[in-house]
Structure 1
Amino acid sequence: MKKSDRRQAKSDLFENADTKENSTTPVKFSGTENPRYLRAIHALRVRPVPREQLDRVAGCSNGPALIAELRALGLGKAGLPCTMVPDRDRDGCAIRRGVYSLSVTGRRAVNAWLRKRKGGA
């Protein structure tokens, strides 16, 4: 194909983009200066955190509300999902425990915000 022919051919690179089932939802974290949120983000960057541990680490008594507020700052459920895992309570009864974690896109969004916050490249 000649160079002039390539210029005339219209590219559909972005016009006909289809969202696939396994594609990730873009996440943009707007950031925060709240110390409680920062403690929670730090813990989530290290490993998945059960709700009870999140309360202790962040210094709050309502982990789900804290997670909702972080999601509202741009992480959403796509960036900060909750997985219900089977467990047992102190009485030995079967329960499902909520464990929060940063998804790949959530981790990328937080890391991008941290780079911008620190003034790094």
Structure 2
Amino acid sequence: MKIDRLDPPRDFSVKGVTISHTADIHLAEDQMVTFKTPSGAEYDVAAKDWGFYATPSTNGRLKNHGFRTALSRNRETGLRYVLLVEVTKMDAFEAYCREQNMVVENWLDEDI
């Protein structure tokens, strides 16, 4: 794994929200990084020879770590996003969706 830190970060704005791009992480095949929230929830990304596991199992590991997984769509652009929502932050997520004109098309953590 190689980490390229951006100092200073590259700041940019998307729909009124400022994002700070602080690092690039280069993973070799079968390497994984875990991202942790202040509350202790975890999210893994694993590199494979064919691409990435972009999320752990949505109805297993993510759910067990306090995340809901939403397939969402921006109503204006039609672009779709996979969003991970801490279950304790649902009110903030719903407010964000209203502000960004997004709708949840499907909760991917629910068993079909």
Q: TM-score normalized by structure 1?
A: 0.27
Q: TM-score normalized by structure 2?
A: 0.28
Structure having the larger proportion of residues in helix: 1
Larger radius of gyration: 1
